[in-house]
Structure 1
Amino acid sequence: MRVDKYLWCIRFFKTRSIATNACKKGQVKIDAKNVKPSKEVFVGELIIIRKNQINYQIKVLNLPESRLGAKLVDQYRKDVTPKEAFANTELLKYAKDYYRKKGIGRPTKKDRRDIENYQDESFDNNTDEIL
């Protein structure tokens, strides 16, 4: 079975074209080698998939005939992803909080005027204290 079809059948990707694009971008590896979407998958192989900045490791247990229901997926694959991979995502989340919150964007003209007025007021207050 092709690797892109296998990843789609075990519900790792929502569509087969997304699985194909992931293979073309080098995000899917079998035995630490980049693979093309047409690469055949065999029982016992270890597939490494980079998705959402996590390197998932999946061991092939069996090859399905077609796309599976969510409850049957565990019969065809075993997730052997180390727990440390998920811990790294927590660190990335804290690193992103350092930057501006999403949706805030650049200051508007009103924000800029408010900032300038605040700076002018604080400058005027400091000069009064010095005299």
Structure 2
Amino acid sequence: MSLRIDKYVWFVRLAKTRTLSTELVQKNRIKLNNNPVKPSKEVKIGDTISIIKNNATFSYKIKDLLDRRVGAKLVSDYLIDITDPLELEKFKTYQEAQSVYREYGTGRPSRKDRDNFDSFFEWLEDDDED
């Protein structure tokens, strides 16, 4: 049995959609045995898949191939997580740094936020002129 890397990544839930998994492979964010590949590259048991997320590289070893997408609880039957603990630490640090920017879930600044920023900076400029 042979399986394309983009399908495999989607089947084992490393990407939310098949289109997203194809895009990740095309952008060299997913590597097979530390080599950039095309979406049609065939995977084999024992291969290593590396996924670059933000600033960290997550690595997985293929235990078995499958013919359809599986539930989250069954993913461990097909993959072994071999990610370096330092990479996990880098990712956690990145997430914490991102949460400091704005409160989680607040989205982009609203028009009101922007007006408040502008009035604050005008106040600072007025203060500097005195």
TM-score above 0.5: yes
**1:93 offset after TM fit, Å?**
5.4
**1:88 offset after TM fit, Å?**
1.7
1-structure distance, mates of 2:95, 2:17:
27
User: Corresponding residue for 2:125?
Assistant: 116
* Paired residues, number: 119
Aligned CA-pair RMSD:
2.5
- 3-state DSSP class of the match of 1:14? coil
Deviation digits for residues 44-80 of structure 1, max 9, x if unmatched?
1111111232211010000111000011000000010
**1:32 offset after TM fit, Å?**
1.5
User: Corresponding residue for 2:10?
Assistant: 8
Q: So what's the TM-score if we normalise by structure 2? A: 0.78
Provide structure 1 residue ranges, at least 5 long, that are not aligned to the other structure.
124-131
Identity %: 31
1-structure distance, mates of 2:125, 2:81:
55
1-structure distance, mates of 2:59, 2:92:
19
Q: So what's the TM-score if we normalise by structure 1? A: 0.77
Structure with the greater alpha carbon radius of gyration: 1
15 and 90 in structure 1: CA distance in 2 versus 1, 3 angstrom threshold: closer
User: Corresponding residue for 2:74?
Assistant: 72
